[in-house]
Structure 1
């Protein structure tokens, strides 16, 4: 009888832990994009293993006002939201896992949605 109660309590605890949200974790894969480099030359950018469920500023343009990234390709298993403003502001678009954004869409920050894959 005690074994049954102990086993039931252990299973209940395990179910509770599985249902508890976890903090941001790394997303497998990488994303690529272009941005204005030195002399305005289009330059390749890449973010590998980004954190999920946090806003990420595009590092190469973070301190450069009036500069944006574009031609986004999502090579992760997460859906990604692209924002035209810093701090994930403005009207966003969603790029599905393995997808590409409209190459003309300009963005400054991204948000990787959590996936359970």
Structure 2
């Protein structure tokens, strides 16, 4: 009888575990970058608590031809891999370490993914 009760408890716990939704993973913190607006003025943009393992196009430049963001700074707790093209296409362009990894004005990007 005790074996059957124990088996029922374990089975119930496992079933409950399967029904609990997984928590969404996010790179906690801020990822900042700069870009040129229509007038050629330098502007700052940021992604706050971006989702992990999801390609994110830089909104200010993703739809513009031959325009890139630059000078990224990764103040999230996750590694950021930047790509020169939208859609994280092509090879990984550059990897920024968590908590302060940054690039210069020469590091151009149009999309990023956080690990």
Under a length normalisation based on structure 2, what TM-score does the superposition of the two structures give?
0.79
Aligned partner of 2:102 in structure 1 is 101
CA contact (8 A) 1:24 1:54 kept: no
Larger-gyration structure (1/2): 2
Alpha-carbon offset, residue 67 of structure 1: 0.7
Q: Across the two proteins, how many residue pairs are aligned to each other?
A: 111
CA RMSD of aligned residues (A): 2.5
| 1:48 aligned residue | 48
Structure 1: how far apart are the matches of 2:97 and 2:18?
30
Match of 1:38, SS state, is: coil
Instruction: Give the match's secondary structure for 1:39.
Output: coil
Unaligned residue ranges in structure 2 (runs of 5+): none
Which stretches of structure 1, 4 residues or longer, exceed 4 Å deviation after superposition? 10-18
The answer to whether 1:112 aligns with 2:114 is: yes
Superposition TM-score, scaled by structure 1 size? 0.78
Where does the alignment leave 5 or more consecutive residues of structure 1 unmatched? none
Separation (CA, whole Å) in 2 of partners of 1:14 and 1:97: 35
CA shift digits 1:1-50 (9 cap, x unpaired): 133213333455577789xxx58543321110111123222211111121
